[in-house]
Structure 1
Amino acid sequence: MTELISVAQAEALIAEHMPSFGSERIPLEQAAGRVLRQVVQAEHDHPPFDRVMMDGIALRWSEPLPREFAFAGTQVAGMVRQALQAGDTCIEVTTGAMLPAGCDCVVPVEQLRRDGSHYQLVDGYQPARGQFIHPRGSDCLAGAKLLAPGTRIGPPEAALLAANGVAAVEVACIPSIAIVSTGDELVDVEAALGEGQIRRSNDMAIATALRLDGFDRVTMEHIPDDASLTQDKLAQLLERHDVLVLSGGVSMGQRDFVPGALDALGVRRVFHRIAQKPGKPMWFGMGSRRQAVFALPGNPLSALVCASRYVRQALRLSLGIPTSPPEFACLDAAVDTSTMLTCFVPAHVQTDPQGRFIAYPVPSRTSGDFSTLPRTQGVVQLPPGESRAAAGTVVAFYRW
């Protein structure tokens, strides 16, 4: 029997073997949610000029400061820079405009009265030198590093890329992923159930988890419990895809054909069986062309735990996304654990009025029971050593 490895060993082995799937250059408008594979530097100083922050007038500050200024011109956003000639004059300005040359103070329109061709400061208002001016380069200087490889492109990142002239961006390629359910008992979602049959659900759960992470090149397949068919179908899928995620047929029963088929196809086993509950039979290996193959148990909770704990993290790693540490939560109630196995228990989490992050265990009756999972946001990871984790224990929490 294959020796069990720990959860930490499984995680490390996957990270050690997980390939990169390369990069591609795409238009910025198509890059939402993609992961950067380039360093992005500031094209110029930000802001690129002394920028007016309020509608009003720009003037030259002095002490004492005149209370009235003659109108000497206008500076609006996008206009070439104007210049102030005399200290008792002012230039009308709008938000976002360049600060006119010779000016070092902006007075907002709320603090002004207009009298013909002159502006007067309202009674009692005392402006300060430099007020309402966004100085050139105060955000960052030209050449400053703005974004690093591994950054997922969201609204702020897209704005930075656009502002710095990055019209085409280098991003990690999204791998082609086949999600494969095995078993004679499985039928399609829309099919009528015959005696002894159940509808396929693991593939839909896993595909949804991956698509939420941006892995949208996903196909779903089904293989009956037949040794020859299993090997033939897996051979075809290995030719067409970068990643295979299987559920079912991976244990040591007489109709568990997946490990043997993968071995016959030259997929090198990295490990088989993890000291955890649920999900002990998980298998991971590498194809001859560096395809990553994850074979998960067929029980729904087992499959979802392994997909969330290992597959999603491995695929993020392949894109260059840095590994995120788990969240940590305080158990609201005691929960059964194991002296030999790491246990994963579904949990509902929330922050209590005192600001503590609390996990409320929602144990499943079996690894085939997933009816209560919609009430949860993920699983707590309970290390081996005791037969019961007490209420108040701080545990790692992993989201679905």
Structure 2
Amino acid sequence: MPIEIKMPALSPTMEEGKLAKWLVKEGDSVSAGDILAEVETDKATMEFEAVDEGTVARITVEEGTEHVLVGTTIAVIAGEDEDPEEAKSLEISEPAPQSPEPQKAEEKAADAAAPVEAEPSPEPVARSESEERIIASPLARRLAKEKGIDLATVSGSGPHGRIVKADIDSAKHGPEKADAAKSAGKAPDAAAPKIEIAQDTKALLDERVPHTVEKLSGMRKTIARRLAQSMQQAPHIYLTVDIQLDKLLALRSEINASLEPQGIKVSVNDMLIKALARALIDVPECNVTFAGDELIRYSRADISVAVSIPNGLITPIVSDASGRTVSSIAAAMKDLGQRAKEGKLQPDEYQGGTASISNMGMMGIKQFTAVINPPQSTILAIGAGEKRPWVMPDGDLSVATVMTATGSFDHRAVDGADGARLMAAFRNYVEAPLGMVV
């Protein structure tokens, strides 16, 4: 019997997606594990693999189609002993309609996402058979476009001959592409795809001012929706403390000196992640989720760490941060941060967490407030460390390295006094850092 290929749920919260690109065409033979298509979710561009072998008899959803509901039949595959022509006539089943329920509180950390191709979907153009059969990761395609490399000239080292980033890095620029563009009298990427502007957008435009209009990526739409939801539904309370950093900086230097033979370097942010995690264990009233008539209390501190990526933000999770060494946190953050920028994080690596930390100190920001990352109830905003006048324990006035930290708390779940206790515990761990590493 012909097999219906349905739009998959590539993350726990995915309800619809964009069929970004087909990597097969009607008549192609496929085997289990072959990559069929690239699907853009609200958080990432992911590849969709075949689970059975057969022949692609019919493609029912064209590439570039947005808002394809999970469960929609996107293609039909004829089995090994079946006639593809007969499979084309298979009656397509429709996905079950979903009730318009309000967004559930269990949806995780949506103002964080793996990199999504931000370009609007180009209008369909004719492609050669060789172009249709090129299998490459979204990152490799983008890098190849930026460097002017013809993917047809690159040998893939990934599974099934898939072209990956390393193949692009080692490839030479494609002179034939550059020459063709030059002969056409324009840069290779000069032609921008057209998009249909919504009426609401037209109403806001000032035509007198030069401008461009671009479609929001799924990630940016999610960021906008989730931030609005957080500010509207969670009454925020903000608590701010100034913290002396000198002892932490001195300890960090000693730790890095001892870890140098292992090639591990601990950052200030790694130590702050550890301090927040320990503080959450000490003050479990802040390590919670508000769930309407119930309150979820966590006995482990999994810290979501804000990481800036192209076109958005994602919060990879350091699990059990309170139980890890700072060197383990440093290694985990190096790996998570790199894979976040390459779009290689799995959903369970950025969805979840019990509290968040956002550090903008490296950008010179002295102080800011962060929006709570639902369904969490706590997020810490870290400002830059700077030299300030400081009264020392003996009463003398001196100069110290001081940073400002502001905690945002969901007042439905966290009382102000408990938030203040968390901020005090965090400050104590930072100002006496041996207490969190022994």
Task: Report the TM-score, using the length of structure 2 for normalisation.
Answer: 0.21
Which structure: greater helix fraction? 2
Which structure: greater strand fraction? 1
Task: Report the TM-score, using the length of structure 1 for normalisation.
Answer: 0.22
